[in-house]
Structure 1
Amino acid sequence: MRVLVAEDDLVSERLLTHLLIKWGHEVIVARSGREAWEAFERDEDIQLVISDWMMPELDGIEFVRRVRAAARPGYVYFILLTAKTQREDLLTGMEAGADDFITKPFDAAELRVRLGAGERIVRLEHALAEQNRRMRRDLEAAAAIQRSLLPPAPPEVAGYRFAWRFLPCDLVAGDILCVHRLDESTMALYVLDVSGHGVPAAMLSVALSRALEPMPVRDGLVKRWTSEPPHYLIAEPREVLGELNQRFPMASQGNLYHTGIYATLDLASRRITMSRSGHPLPLLIRGGCGEFLAVDGGLPAGMYPEMDYGQTTCQLQSGDRLYLYSDGLTEAMDARGEMFGEEQLAAAMTEFAGQPLEETLSEVLRRVHAMTGEEGLSDDVTLLALEVL
């Protein structure tokens, strides 16, 4: 292990250096606090420091404070050499950042034991750091997979415009969204929000997204294969949420449930049919006014296997904007614990209704970020928008 010895007493320094080399360590010597700090700044491989308390130019207390304030990878174990034995002095050293103390004149056997403890802590910290790096690489790979399930770009559909935002509060998210064609005349839109955070919630959101793929298969949730042309039937939104409720019960999903809103849009008639499973109400902006639509549905999916979901059909018209979102948007909080809320959401969407759809989403999220400040988002935020041209 690479050890920095900061000691202005020549006899003590040579004895320390001799013992450390004998025990297999690589030693760097500094004979003042200033020299020790300069050596520490130059050498990022130093893993352990043994420093005298009383030194010229920079004492051991200030030195350890600087070490703790330094931005460098890995933990540095710091031992103070001192003739001080008062409780207040030891507390001062520990508050500054020292890990251990050795009383001068020191005993070689005691020094070796305390060094061993320091080595174990440093090696453990390095092992944990490597494990965290591997975990982060795995999470980044999982996040990339999750992002690949999102629409690569808003679909281009005559007479309509779509836009979306997906903001995980961690590397991976419990939210998921999609907008895609079911056939030439029908679009599907959904936003789902899995309870909890982290990997379990993200894994369930990915499973839900896969289950909602619009492939015409016999047991498909969205499109069911039939022997008669066109060889599929498009499921009603209430049927889709009912099937998700049946297929993903809490008991088999680590006690995770999910909320969601699922909609089918008839492109020719501009009629949209929606169903909710405990999800926030969609927001309709029409003629400069905002209205939260009382869409029928049921409880969050996964709670009650026999839940019967309702649905609501709305007639859209030219100029309408419809917003589906997760509760991470309305429940975003400022430092005082006040939420963004539905009222502010409706006011912001109405205020920016004259701007392009993409810019409207950006403006609303800028307002949310300004509100949360340094605290940042505490939950995933998903926002899916539909505009009728």
Structure 2
Amino acid sequence: MQRAGPSSHDPKTDPAGRPASVRHVLIVDDSRVQLRILRSMLERWGFAVAQAESGEQAIEACLAAPPDIVISDWMMPGMSGVDLCRAFRDLPHDGYGYFILLSAKTDKAEVAEGLDAGADDFLSKPVNAPELRARLSAGSRVLAMERALSDRNRQLGEALDQLRVLHAEIDRDLKQARTIQQALVPERSRLFGTSRVSLLLQPCGHVGGDLVGMFSPGTGRLGMYGIDVSGHGITSAMVTARVAGYLSSRFPDQNLALERRFDRYFALHPPEVVAEKLNRRLAADPGVDEYLTMAYVTGDLHSGEMRMVQAGHPPPILLRADGEIRLLGEGGLPIGLVPDVRYDQVRFDMAPGDRLLIYSDGFTEARMRDGSMLEEQGLVDLFRQTAAHARGEELLHDMFWRLRTELVDSDLGDDVSAALLEFDALSVETP
């Protein structure tokens, strides 16, 4: 096998004399005269040429240095051009190799046989130089496109691998963020004397923008809330984390809903004052576009006197012991949307056996199988039916499970959260 390099002045090379990307041609023929003729033409056109006098030599040459283009005679002793083409296609290749068969054969069946073996093009013998050059140009274009596509696929594969690594890192961070966010609600159920508060928090993704909580500055006094930050995902979760610090049950000195009295105990601020203080803090934060809705309730668990503020949150549901239903509140502006907002207080009383449900619109806006939303009446019915046989956390989890079974898609479209107060529950449950 012999090889020759291209001329630095040939039009197939760039101005610096470098050969074109498609440059290596292997010619195969048992006729040395035919090899000499082909080699002369190809080198004149700027190709690097290797040659073999049999199919077996050609395979060895391909293994040693895979060619861009193979030009092979059809009729050769031993391995024919068609057999060589089949063997060439079976060789391991980083890229595609273009195969041209030379033959005096013009029969359609024989041409079909060559195509079936993997040949890309045919040339009749004796070879016409302009036609050969045209076929080589066509083959070069095919190879250039194939290599460009392969290069793009390689780049896409590398980018995909990088994205997989980044996705895995983000997924780990989000799982940790979910753990941190769940820790914002350290207690899911707590007794306050004979009353009980239970909480439900189900983000639609790794993290969410809902928050529920409860705290007590002293015996018989209760604060509980439900919050829904606008949007979804990490930004909303960061806002909920910040608000959780403002309403901390663990650190009363940092809780803006509490006021220290005489350095001895804490008292509850009126709900409307809490909403106004929270609104001023969020509205004053530079770069924070998110706002939140909130229902916040304070209660005297001895007398049953309750006070509430509703800031754009869905109206809490009061289920009386006798089955009567009352929706509380008339709306109000969300918190953090407009500065210097004043909020109205809603007063109501609870009696032994009454239940109060604060919930997010993840419940009421859930899409059912028939295409409709659950809406307030659907939630009222769900609450009433579930409350007939369940209590505390079990009641909330049962409501959530029933909701999931009726969704058009099992995946949540929004965060779902709820806070349930069962007033004087233990005295009612225990004769």
- State the TM-score, normalizing by the size of structure 1: 0.71
Q: Does 1:10 align with 2:87?
A: yes
Cross-structure match for 2:112? none
The aligned residue for residue 281 of structure 2 is 247
- Corresponding residue of 2:202: 167
The answer to whether the 8 A contact 1:168-1:380 is kept is yes
Decide whether the 8 Å contact of 1:165 with 1:361 is kept in 2. yes
The reply to whether residue 293 of structure 1 matches residue 370 of structure 2 is no
* Superposition deviation, residue 386 in structure 1: 1.1
Give the residue type in structure 2 aligned to 1:248: L
* Counterpart-to-counterpart distance in 2, 1:320 and 1:82: 84
Paired letter, 2:179: A
1:327 equivalent to 2:361? Answer yes
> Aligned-pair distance for 1:230?
2.1
Q: Offset of 1:351 from its aligned partner?
A: 2.0
For the pair 1:313 / 2:313, whether they are aligned, the reply is: no
Give the whole-Å Cα distance in 1 for the aligned partners of 2:248 and 2:334: 21
Partner of 2:78: none
For the pair 1:281 / 2:297, whether they are aligned, the reply is no
Aligned match for 1:376, one of 403, 411, 424:
411
Greater Rg over alpha carbons, structure: 2
For residues 380 and 224 of structure 1, the distance between their equivalents in structure 2, rounded to whole angstroms, comes to 31
Q: Distance in 2 between matches of 1:297 and 1:342?
A: 14
Counterpart of 2:397 in structure 1 is 362
State yes or no: 1:121 paired with 2:156: yes
| CA deviation profile, 1:131-173 (whole Å, cap 9, x unmatched) | 1111111111111110001133311222112222211111101
1:138 pairs with one of 173, 176, 179: 173
Match of 1:150 among 178, 182, 185: 185
Is 1:230 aligned to residue 264 of structure 2? yes
Q: Quick one: which amino acid aligns to residue 264 of structure 2? A: P
Q: Distance in 2 between matches of 1:238 and 1:118?
A: 60
Q: Normalized against structure 2, the TM-score is what?
A: 0.64
Alignment partner of 1:199: what SS?
Answer: helix
Q: Report the Cα offset of residue 366 of structure 1.
A: 2.4
Structural RMSD (CA): 2.9
- Aligned AA (1:11): F
CA offset at residue 266 of structure 1? Answer: 1.3
* Cα distance change, pair 112–264 in 1 and its aligned pair in 2 (3 A): same
1:287 Cα deviation after fit: 3.4
* Cα shift at 1:244: 0.8
5+ residue gaps, structure 2, are 1-84, 96-114, 122-137, 426-431
Cα deviations by residue, 1:356-378 (Å, 9 ceiling, x for unpaired): 31333233222211221425321
Give how far 1:216 is off.
4.4
> Shift of the alpha carbon at 1:298?
2.6
CA drift of 1:107 comes to: 6.2
Q: Which amino acid aligns with 2:336?
A: G
> For 1:191-222, what per-residue CA distance to the aligned partner results, in whole angstroms no more than 9, with x for missing partners?
000011111111101101111115443x7512
In the other structure, the counterpart of 1:194 is 229
Residues 299 and 83 from structure 1, CA distance in 2 versus in 1: closer, same or farther, beyond 3 angstroms?
farther
After the TM superposition, which residues 260-271 of structure 1 pair with which residues of structure 2 at under 5 Å, given as runs? 260-271=294-305
Q: Which residue of 1 aligns with 2:61?
A: none
- In the aligned structure 2, how far is the partner of 1:13 from the partner of 1:105? 21
Q: Distance in 2 between matches of 1:105 and 1:207?
A: 63
- 1:303 maps to 337
CA distance in structure 2 between the partners assigned to 1:54 and 1:266 by the alignment: 89
Q: CA deviation at 1:184?
A: 2.2
SS across alignment from 1:249: helix
> Where in structure 2 are the equivalents of 1:196-211 lying within 5 Å?
196-211=231-246
Contact 1:177 1:190 in 2 (8 A): yes
Conserved? CA contact 2:370–2:408, under 8 Å = no
Q: Which residue is equivalent to 1:68? A: none
